[in-house]
Structure 1
Amino acid sequence: MRRHRKVKILATLGPASSEEEQIEALHKAGADLFRINMSHASHDLMRTLTKRIRNVEARCGRPIGILCDLQGPKLRVGKFLDGKVELEVGQTFTLDDRDEPGNEKRVFLPHPEILQSVQPGHRLLIDDGKLQLRAEKCDGKSIECTVVAGTGISDRKGVSLPDTLLGVGALTEKDRADLDAVLETGDADWVALSFIQRPDDLAEVRKIARGQVGLMSKIEKPQAIERIEEIIEMSDALMVARGDLGVEMPLETVPGLQKKLIRLCRAAGKPVVVATQMLESMIESPVPTRAEVSDVATAVFEGADAIMLSAESAAGEYPVEAVSTMASIARTIEREQLYPQILYAQRPQPEATGADAISLAAREIAETLKLTAMVCYTASGTTGLRAARERPNVPILALSPVVRTARRLSVVWGLHCVVADEPTDLESMVDGACRIVVDEGIGKPGDRIIISAGVPLGTPGATNMLRIAYIGMDGRSGV
């Protein structure tokens, strides 16, 4: 099953898409990997979903990636005596550590880290910004605020802190338990970390994961933007989580940040996913709005590695239609005359490494000679990532003897991943590449391809060889 597009599609599973038949339908419609939201999935459900995805993978014969998204710290106010209260702009309202029902003057805030970190002048956004407060007096046990905008607040509404750096890590006790369960299954390829603030937030997860999964940092807080280069360096991939980012930062700044993050990730050779409300209207409608189509198109034009569906595929009425619509938009945009001009104008300069030099040379040779495909042998995935960083205009076939690597690379732009045996010598490497190019429908006898690999064969991170091969009539390398 070959996708005729370069950008990948990440679909969230949920009540509307948790059965094995539905997962297979989503995959056939265009989903390259699946997201399991640990905010809603129990450990048993997570294990069930990963098993069903692997069953679909076995039937379809193509590596499928699995992303488990950790909830992160959910900050919420306590409850009110009557369930909710009405406030007035300009009045004083206090959040404190008294575990008692709230009223129109105060409410319990069960998060001492907030009480100890907020400073006068900081903003507190309640219920996705519907209520905006400004801190006036802080003593470590209470925060006396002025109501700036909004009038209503009810039980257990979320709290966002765009101006405050909290002195806690990104992992909660629930996250640690969820991460242990995810690693125990051995089937997850990626773990997404919510509400990252600093590079240090990844250290604990990396220590626990020990390389079993890739770490995807969700960028949804202003504090992360301030240290974004360091966070990209510490991460294996990034997600532009525009929902929470748009709550904590002015909405009009999000499109520019999206472009910035995509370009930084492309320069670093790290996969980047654009997420949240991409086809939101398709939760209830079989067709998207024109604005949503433009939104998806923008991410494709910018060269994002993957675009994500959330509630559209997890809880919507048209999950399969949402995936097929997103795939259709991506295919159409990638055929646009302006697409290569926009994409290649942002192509980063190669780094001074052997892998980058080889990848650059492979792309330039493939485009100059109009070769049919670039083939890279990659055990760790690094060669595949560097090839995709070049954003070539020819298909990239990533061959790996490690199924985990092939699954993890399913999020990467342009890579068609195949699990293949490790070649024993150069002749078997070239013959295998030619045969797989034909078997996968990428090329045919008479075509030419370029192959990158490391010599001696089987040495991770030692990509140092390029070979142009002619596909003979028997599907193997010819003269």
Structure 2
Amino acid sequence: MSVARPVGILQDLQGPKIRVGTLHDGPRQVEPGDRVVLTLDGADGTIILPHPEIFAAIAPSHQLLIDDGRIRLEAEECQSSSITARVVAGGRTLERKGVNLPDTVVDLPALTAKDRVDLEFGLSVGVDWLALSFVQQPKGLIQAKALIQGRAGLIAKIEKPSALDSLSEIVGEADAVMIARGDLGGEITPEDVPGRQKEIIRLCRQLDRPVIVATQMLESMITTPAPTRAEASDVATAVYDGADAVMLSAETASGQFPVEPVAMMDRIIQRTEGHPFYAASLSATAPEADTSNRAIAAAAVDLANALKAPAIVVFSSTGASGRRIASRRSPRPTALLTTNTAIARRMALVWGIRPLVDAEVTNHDTVPIIPEKAAWQLGLQDSDHSIVVVCGFPFGVPGTTNRIRVIPLSAHETTFAA
């Protein structure tokens, strides 16, 4: 089925994910107060933890959280190849579940050997975004970008406390950000997650970076066809805060009702963005127009609103101008025209942007004509209004956005502002 628009593909790299291994005797029930032993080799009666770096770093009283914190252990005796821990919160210890260590600083590589192989495979088949898991420092992103070499956008997944300590540098280095709240909520206290989420979203908007809010958004819909009211509010809060995307995980990957969560999330987004409080909440956190490029974006949005223009059309070779306009959350549809198919697919992630590929976008002579084609694809062909066009001179050169034009859809007479 054709959707008549570019579709972006995101590859999620596993990263140095810490998991318990397979259990010789299968899953077992542990209760509060029980003692369990974790070992490298998974000897009989123990839980295998195949990560020697943990045994080198953990200390008594440190917490081990299994399966997003459903099972909570506290280390008591720590040896080079075994950890004896007391069960604080019990449950069924399933195999291959994730482990979080909020009290332990573990020396893990930014990219594992498996990540490097997976990254090269993803690039070979043309993925548009690569998500780097468990980012701790900006240097991990720099290493990944050296391997990617501009062939895809890089998403930093924020799920470690150390990433919060270097947040500005990480967001500045990344092309986009994902707030992975499942693992993040296991590493910091749950009551701190909402505030940190707002902080990350606001910073991403200030730096014109797309931001995704992910995991446990409609968690109850894994087993039921309707969400809780709290879950609906959680999704809406991410939208009110200015997230570019909200993301489902187990709800669609392994849930019993994979279609219903998608439809429900879509309805929540539409109702939220249509609410009178939506524009007001976002205007309070609008980015500063502190550079010429951001000032152009702000002026274009203000001009489109003043003229009640049905759309904004931005010409871009890198997508940067589109991201700056999107950060201001214009209520007008925004079409981004580019000759680069890869950039168009990458821009599918950005809020409010309709990416369009057109090989005729080559010089200023095409500026009065191409917007009509964009308007047609936006369903505005019957409009007698003018649309606002943003472009640069020299044309097609990254970083030169410096012009705004107002172009009537029914004629080619133009008003020019530089």
**TM-score (structure 1 length as normaliser):** 0.80
How far the C-alpha of 1:155 sits from its partner, in A, is 4.8
2:208 — aligned with what?
Answer: 269
Find the aligned partners of 2:61 and 2:256 in 1 and give their Cα distance.
44
Identity in percent: 45
SS at match of 1:260: helix
Q: After the TM superposition, which residues 16-35 of structure 1 pair with which residues of structure 2 at under 5 Å, given as runs? A: none
2:248 — aligned with what?
Answer: 309
Instruction: Tell me whether 1:214 sits opposite 2:156 in the alignment.
Output: no
How far the C-alpha of 1:108 sits from its partner, in A, is 4.0
Find the aligned partners of 2:69 and 2:351 in 1 and give their Cα distance.
34
Instruction: Tell me whether 1:293 sits opposite 2:232 in the alignment.
Output: yes
Letter in 1 for 2:62: H
2:348 — aligned with what?
Answer: 410
Q: Do the aligned partners of residues 133 and 289 (structure 1) sit closer, same or farther apart at CA in structure 2, a change above 3 Å counting?
A: closer
Instruction: Tell me whether 1:162 sits opposite 2:102 in the alignment.
Output: yes
Find the aligned partners of 1:185 and 1:175 in 2 and give their Cα distance.
15
SS at match of 2:212: strand
2:285 — aligned with what?
Answer: 346
Q: After the TM superposition, which residues 312-461 of structure 1 pair with which residues of structure 2 at under 5 Å, given as runs? A: 312-352=251-291, 354-442=292-380, 444-461=382-399
Contact 2:42 2:49 in 1 (8 A): no
How far the C-alpha of 1:416 sits from its partner, in A, is 1.2
In structure 1, which of residues 60, 75, 95 is the aligned counterpart of residue 18 of structure 2? Answer: 75
In structure 2, which of residues 191, 214, 221 is the aligned counterpart of residue 282 of structure 1? Answer: 221
How far the C-alpha of 1:126 sits from its partner, in A, is 2.5
Contact 2:68 2:182 in 1 (8 A): no
Find the aligned partners of 1:388 and 1:313 in 2 and give their Cα distance.
28
Q: After the TM superposition, which residues 84-233 of structure 1 pair with which residues of structure 2 at under 5 Å, given as runs? A: 89=32, 93-97=36-40, 99-103=41-45, 106-138=46-78, 140-150=80-90, 153=93, 155-186=95-126, 188-233=127-172
Q: CA RMSD in A?
A: 2.5
SS at match of 2:50: coil
The CA deviation string for residues 221-243 of structure 1, in whole angstroms up to 9 with x for no partner, is 22222222121112111111112
1:42 — aligned with what?
Answer: none
SS at match of 1:296: helix
Find the aligned partners of 2:169 and 2:248 in 1 and give their Cα distance.
27
How far the C-alpha of 1:351 sits from its partner, in A, is 3.1
With 365-374 and 148-157 compared, the bigger mean Cα shift is at: 148-157
Which consecutive residues of structure 2, in runs of 5 or more, have no partner in the other structure? none
With 148-157 and 388-397 compared, the bigger mean Cα shift is at: 148-157
Question: How many residues are matched?
Answer: 415
Q: Do the aligned partners of residues 439 and 221 (structure 1) sit closer, same or farther apart at CA in structure 2, a change above 3 Å counting?
A: closer
Contact 1:438 1:445 in 2 (8 A): no
Q: Do the aligned partners of residues 264 and 337 (structure 1) sit closer, same or farther apart at CA in structure 2, a change above 3 Å counting?
A: same
**TM-score (structure 2 length as normaliser):** 0.90
In structure 2, which of residues 164, 178, 186 is the aligned counterpart of residue 239 of structure 1? Answer: 178
SS at match of 1:313: helix
Higher RCO (CA 8 Å, separation ≥ 6 residues): 1
With 144-153 and 69-78 compared, the bigger mean Cα shift is at: 144-153
1:28 — aligned with what?
Answer: none
